[in-house]
Chain A
Amino acid sequence: MEISIIALPLIASIISGFFGKFIGDRNSEIITSLLVSISAVFSCMVLYEVIQNQYEDNIIIATWINSGSLDVNWSMKIDALSAVMLVVVTSISALVHVYSIGYMSHDPHKPRFMAYLSLFTFAMLMLVTSDNFIQLFFGWEGVGLCSYFLIGFWFKKETANAAAIKAFVVNRVGDFGFALGIFLIFYLFGTVNYSEVFELIPTIKEKNLIFLGIEINAINLICLLLFIGAMGKSAQIFLHTWLPDAMEGPTPVSALIHAATMVTAGVFLVVRCSPIYEYSELALNIITIIGMSTAFFAASVALVQTDIKKIIAYSTCSQLGYMFFATGVGAYNVAMFHLFTHAFFKALLFLGSGSVIHAFKDEQNINNMGGVWKKLPYTYTLMVIGTLALTGFPFLSGFYSKDTIIEFAYLRGNTAGYYAAGIGIFTAFLTSIYSWRLMFKTFHGNFNNKNIKIEETHESPLVMLIPLIFLSIGAVFAGFVFKELFIGSYGLNSFWQDSIFFLKPLSTEHPPLWFLISTPTLVIISIPISYYLFLKNKDLPEQFIKINKPLYQFLLNKWYFDELYDFIFVKPSKKLGMFLWKFFDLRIIDGFGPDGISALIKKFSVKANKFQSGFIYQYAFVMLLGFSALLTYLIVK
């Protein structure tokens, strides 16, 4: 049963991808959705076993690479951590499969799309169930590949192609660090299997290395290198630029890959490697700072964007930042909890926005929407639920997970922790503002679309709404129901077993009351504030923009990261390539090498030709010269 969880999506992908033409669109949709759903049911059964009986297993499927001391297997590791990921991945994937039947109904390439979705699910499952770093890397690049395929799914769009390549290449930059981390692990321990590596970690606590001229503790270095990989995949600041562009893909893809599952792989990696990270104070602090900065940066950019999907994308980026700083303060279980709840409400928001985009016939600019909440009652209600959950409105799922992260940051008791807690609260406020801005501009106010009439907007079909309803149930109850299981009443509990390692137990104290209520209060009062700003008194934001033009431009252009990278990396690489080719290869190497030599030989042979003049006296003269030279030599000797 366990192996079929992984195998079914792969089979679905093969059937739909290679035989889609023969079995027809509808059949490939049904087969892929069905097989992935079965996989989801099995995953739930596994999770149940894990909860009830502390079920753990490490299934070896086959040998993969066995070279010298390197021994890598195709494997399936089941413990609390991978069981949670299994459920998140397969259940969201199954819902997105069903939703896509409706969303892609006008697309001519349905089987291909479904095949990619299933293939992605397979790769993601390989990632989360691996028992070693190399299979993890396989899944890691595999999901990146599927993401590349799906972002560029509408292959005629120039922007989609560019975004797809950007996603793959930026991720490769992260993978570069990740791969170096794996090499370092193999260098130090001679193995890449989790259990063996984790066991050996304490033995190198004091070991220092010279890496590129810098002396650094070995564990710190491993952690930082692996974290570069995590930053790439989870779109953390500096390596985030691909995620907003990835919104060029169809919306179900954004929900599945760029919100609920793939982008959380980085968080998963850090949590999975908690036995390593726990020994590296430095890496944890860096993670806290990066996570917090991302949370704030992305939220600030989301405030001024106008593309509905990009706003949600930046929101995802920001929430991933929260998850990272949770791991940074050592609260791995809380990070997993936020990952779990976030999967539901963010997928809900994305699929909901897909429903809106559908209703407006492919309009994505929120300035061209508005006033349709009565026309789209179900979508509207579900989106409201998603928004409330995301902002952390009391007793919805985001409230339990996000607020706990901020509390643990506070309880960490060091500078990075306090700093993170402060920014965390402020960002929660920003999150609330931009989320409600999106809601008000999309659904309330005047109808602003010039292309279609309000009568033409329509509610989505049932096949799209049902997955949304499932997700909204998760968004409302996941926090409340699973709180005890994931984070207990502050501290350790038996659910995670050995899958998460704490060097010292998490603090069991409670932060002061004023701290506890500050976030929910801000979240609640931000609703009337946004209502006032974006519906009642629209001039105020306009005036604010006018006064702070540079700031607005700075945010609108996403802190100019793209322009900066283009300037630092892309253009110089191209120029260097051109230079190396035209100047180095063609001018210098060829010029002095083969072309030069042949030119030289030609020149000499022309000279030699002239030498053979046919005049006896010339020959005699040369002979004389040679003879006297020889004579001189003999005399001198």
Chain B
Amino acid sequence: MNFPILSSLILLPSIGALFLFFTKSNNEKNFTVKYVALFTSLVNFALSIYLWIFFDQTTSEFQFVEDRIWIENFINYKVGVDGISILFILLTTFITPLCIISVNSSIKNRLSEFLIAILIMESFMIGVFCSLDLVIFYLFFEAGLIPMFLIIGIWGGTRRVYSAFKFFLYTLLGSVLMLVAIISIYWITGTTDVIQLYDLGIDAKYQNLLWLAFFSSFAVKTPMWPVHTWLPDAHVEAPTAGSVLLAAILLKMAGYGFIRFSLGLFPIASDFFTPLIYALSVIAIIFTSLIALMQEDMKKLIAYSSVAHMGFVTLGIFTIQQQGIEGSIIQMISHGLVSAALFLCVGVVYDRMHSRLIDTYGGIVSIVPKYSVLFMLFTLAALGLPGTSGFIGEFLILMAAFKDNFLIAVLASLGVIIGAAYMLWLYKRVIFGKLINTELKKMVDLNKSEIIILISLAIPTLFFGFYPEPLINTIEVSISDLIETHNMKIVSK
């Protein structure tokens, strides 16, 4: 394979963005800009499908590796994928075109700049998921902040500046420590190449500190309790497409980072800190679920539920078991689809009524029947109903957690009950009941592009709920290998 497919995946959106940059866009030409962006992202999606088809599921080796010297003897531009990363690349290339379709008249000014931000972001995200050099990873990881910061700060709601800075402050603070850790790793081992580091291993005495440094960055991005408070604010102020990107992809960087770096590079420290992660995850699941119950703003509710869902993810990863990690990856993919869909669902009613408050709505089921059906489906997927992708992830995670610690599994399972309560209550208050607000009668049901977006999210949600084999097969070998090496390193200590 000589064709540099991963670099193409990374570069293509940026080239599209460059193209947009030079396209003169005034309001009449809005559509052309959108089509250019959409076309770019669709080509990228096709490319990633191609990647998946030619991906060899039977090995845990990195595939499609490209290695170029950037700074002699220091940093190499090295990218590659294995079973752990490939699904995240697919998720990114799948969600981005949907995001671009969803951009509509609600973005009133600087449309082409908005699309540029989305495309650049796609480049960075794909970069994150396939970097095999710590420095390259760090660059992509941090660069991803910038477009998001701009999306919230420029196209956001009334408190956008506060939210954007809160978002930036939180995430940057964590990342600085990670940078220090990366530099230390270079000092200790003399390389930042991930594959080499996997083989070399890092001396046990450094692991705890390094682990904590990486943790501080990933915990903020996940977000884990108690560094989660930036997320609700960021979501509330972000435009719909921004929320979708944030929830579906940006949050997954941290989960991916935990598996790839925390588990992969610092096995002994990961083992040592597992109780910490368990405690924080369970607190996140229960506390934020309770908080979600009391929200009046739809976006905030879904944002808090995201924190709870990501709590399951971190819990699953650190069980360090086949079911747990597989469950976590499926949960992340599922959350990517479902939270994206839920934010789009909020976007749909927001575009019509310009309110995100739950009590603005009620009794709209017969006015917008198609919307109600799809919203119901995603509500059910969010509460983890069997037959949706949400169930598979949650169930596997809890199963693995139970093997390790009864109490943690019992507490985490409580979150599933509260989850059902807040999602169904949200749905009931928005969709069912008597129609009191007469303004709502003017609402129109989903238009064509909204239906396309939501159906494209609904299909994989249901399909993987009934048949998750394609996902599991892709990740299985890489994960069992990861666990095996992990256990070996623990024993050899």
Q: Do A and B bind each other?
A: yes
Q: Please list the residues of chain A having a beta carbon within 8 angstroms of any beta carbon in chain B.
A: 62-70, 74, 134, 137-138, 141-142, 145, 148, 152, 155-156, 158, 161, 164-165, 168-169, 172-173, 175-176, 179-180, 182-184, 186-187, 211-212, 573-574, 576-578, 580-581, 584-586, 589-590, 593-594, 597-598
Contacts A142-B386, A169-B417, A574-B294 aside, 4 further interface pairs with beta carbons under 8 A come to A66-B472, A70-B396, A165-B424, A172-B421
Q: Is B322 positioned at the interface, with any CB of A under 8 Å from its CB? A: yes
Task: Give Cα A152 to B294, complex, Å.
Answer: 22
Is the beta-carbon distance between A137 and B386 smaller than 8 angstroms?
yes
Closest chain B CB from A475 CB (angstroms):
34
Q: Is B4 positioned at the interface, with any CB of A under 8 Å from its CB? A: no
Of the four ranges (under 10, 10 to 19, 20 to 34, 35 or more), the interface on chain B belongs to 35 or more
| B479: nearest chain-A partner, CB-CB | A68
Could you give, for residues 264-292 of chain B, a 1 whenever the CB lies within 8 Å of some chain A CB and a 0 otherwise? 00000000000000000000000100111
Is the beta-carbon distance between B409 and A183 smaller than 8 angstroms?
yes
Q: Please list the residues of chain B having a beta carbon within 8 angstroms of any beta carbon in chain A.
A: 165-166, 169-170, 226-227, 229-230, 287, 290-295, 321-323, 326-327, 363, 365, 380, 385-387, 392, 395-396, 398-399, 402-403, 406-407, 409-410, 413-414, 416-418, 420-421, 424-425, 428, 431-434, 466-469, 472, 476, 480
Is the beta-carbon distance between A141 and B432 smaller than 8 angstroms?
no
Closest chain B CB from A28 CB (angstroms):
16
Task: Give Cα A358 to B267, complex, Å.
Answer: 68
| B392: nearest chain-A partner, CB-CB | A65
B322 contacts across to A, CB distance below 8 A? 67-69
A165 contacts across to B, CB distance below 8 A? 421, 424-425, 428
Task: Give Cα A509 to B409, complex, Å.
Answer: 46
Count of A-B contacts with CB under 8 A? Answer: 141
Task: Give Cα A271 to B239, complex, Å.
Answer: 54
Is the beta-carbon distance between B387 and A594 smaller than 8 angstroms?
no
Q: Do A594 and B432 form a contact, CB below 8 Å, given A69-B322, A212-B410?
A: no
Partner among A67, A576, A589 whose Cβ is within 8 Å of the Cβ of B472: A67
Is the beta-carbon distance between A66 and B469 smaller than 8 angstroms?
yes
Closest chain A CB from B161 CB (angstroms):
12
B295 contacts across to A, CB distance below 8 A? 581
Closest chain B CB from A107 CB (angstroms):
13
Task: Give Cα A464 to B342, complex, Å.
Answer: 42
Is the beta-carbon distance between A70 and B323 smaller than 8 angstroms?
yes
A138 contacts across to B, CB distance below 8 A? 386-387
What are 17 A-B contacts with C-beta separation under 8 Å? A65-B396, A66-B469, A66-B472, A67-B326, A138-B386, A141-B385, A156-B363, A165-B428, A179-B395, A179-B413, A183-B398, A573-B293, A578-B294, A580-B291, A593-B170, A594-B230, A598-B169
Is the beta-carbon distance between B229 and A594 smaller than 8 angstroms?
yes
Is the beta-carbon distance between A176 and B414 smaller than 8 angstroms?
yes
Is the beta-carbon distance between A589 and B402 smaller than 8 angstroms?
no
B287 contacts across to A, CB distance below 8 A? 580, 584
Task: Give Cα A576 to B425, complex, Å.
Answer: 17
| A221: nearest chain-B partner, CB-CB | B406
Is the beta-carbon distance between A64 and B467 smaller than 8 angstroms?
yes
Is the beta-carbon distance between B480 and A581 smaller than 8 angstroms?
no
Closest chain A CB from B327 CB (angstroms):
7
Partner among A68, A137, A158, A589 whose Cβ is within 8 Å of the Cβ of B226: A589
Closest 6 CB pairs of A and B: A68-B322, A183-B402, A577-B290, A138-B386, A577-B294, A155-B432
| A162: nearest chain-B partner, CB-CB | B428
Closest chain A CB from B216 CB (angstroms):
13
Task: Give Cα A12 to B28, complex, Å.
Answer: 48
Partner among A63, A67, A187, A589 whose Cβ is within 8 Å of the Cβ of B229: A589
B414 contacts across to A, CB distance below 8 A? 176
Closest chain B CB from A48 CB (angstroms):
32
Task: Give Cα A395 to B239, complex, Å.
Answer: 70
B421 contacts across to A, CB distance below 8 A? 165, 169, 172
Closest chain B CB from A189 CB (angstroms):
12
A65 contacts across to B, CB distance below 8 A? 392, 396, 468, 472
Task: Give Cα A576 to B291, complex, Å.
Answer: 8
Is the beta-carbon distance between B290 and A593 smaller than 8 angstroms?
no
Task: Give Cα A67 to B330, complex, Å.
Answer: 11
Partner among A63, A164, A176, A187 whose Cβ is within 8 Å of the Cβ of B416: A176
Q: Do A180 and B402 form a contact, CB below 8 Å, given A134-B395, A156-B434, A594-B229?
A: yes
Is the beta-carbon distance between A176 and B417 smaller than 8 angstroms?
yes
Task: Give Cα A276 to B474, complex, Å.
Answer: 36
Is the beta-carbon distance between A580 and B290 smaller than 8 angstroms?
yes
B413 contacts across to A, CB distance below 8 A? 176, 179-180
Is the beta-carbon distance between B409 and A152 smaller than 8 angstroms?
no
Is the beta-carbon distance between B416 and A211 smaller than 8 angstroms?
no
| B425: nearest chain-A partner, CB-CB | A165
Is the beta-carbon distance between B433 and A156 smaller than 8 angstroms?
yes
Task: Give Cα A239 to B166, complex, Å.
Answer: 44
Is the beta-carbon distance between B326 and A68 smaller than 8 angstroms?
yes
Task: Give Cα A597 to B398, complex, Å.
Answer: 37
Closest chain A CB from B71 CB (angstroms):
35
Closest chain B CB from A595 CB (angstroms):
8
Is the beta-carbon distance between A187 and B467 smaller than 8 angstroms?
no
Closest chain B CB from A398 CB (angstroms):
35
Q: Do A168 and B321 form a contact, CB below 8 Å, given A142-B387, A180-B402, A183-B402?
A: no
| A141: nearest chain-B partner, CB-CB | B386
Q: Do A64 and B409 form a contact, CB below 8 Å, given A152-B432, A168-B424?
A: no
B431 contacts across to A, CB distance below 8 A? 155
B365 contacts across to A, CB distance below 8 A? 155
Task: Give Cα A598 to B433, complex, Å.
Answer: 44
Partner among A63, A169, A179 whose Cβ is within 8 Å of the Cβ of B420: A169
